[in-house]
Amino acid sequence: MIRTGIGYDVHRFEFGRPLILGGISIPHPHKMGLAGHSDADVLCHAIADAILGAGGKRDIGYYFPNNDPTIAGISSLKILEKSIQLLAEDQMHLVNIDATLIAEHPMINPHIDEMKKKIGQALHLDTSRIGIKATTNEGLGFLGRGEGIAAMAIATIKLK
């Protein structure tokens, strides 16, 4: 049986934080990162929610609540690892991921190969099965004003 799940996440920018996307640190032209309890990696969060949704699980906030001080600043790659572990417990495995980042800045495309490598390692998935794209919001809304970054993802899984 094949199942799919969709994920979405958005975080606002905050001065003085590193910008982590797809498990890597990316320089931001205005020295900003994303605000959040974890490393605020919107790409990994959207992917994790897509995986969890495909598996019929709860969202990442259930497994990694933002009021738990023991996981403050956690790498979102750990969240991806937990999402795969939950699938494996139910005899399911990941087939592929497709994701889109929505940001006016910084430029994402130069970092996609490295993001795919980090995400692939966390998910035990060949990078050929991971799609990552980037687009802008054409200057519209809070994303278009450069106030944050959003990500959408879809995961395909199958029963073992």
Parse the chain into domains and list their residue ranges. Answer: 2-159
- What is the pLDDT confidence band of residue 160, given thresholds at 50, 70 and 90? confident
Q: What is the pLDDT of residue 151?
A: 98
- Between strands 92-102 and 130-135, the pairing is parallel
Which CATH superfamily groups domain 2-159? 2-C-methyl-D-erythritol 2,4-cyclodiphosphate synthase (3.30.1330.50)
- What is the pLDDT confidence band of residue 13, given thresholds at 50, 70 and 90? very high
- 155 within 8 A of 147, measured Cβ to Cβ: no
Q: What is the pTM of this model?
A: 0.97
**DSSP secondary-structure letter at 31?**
S
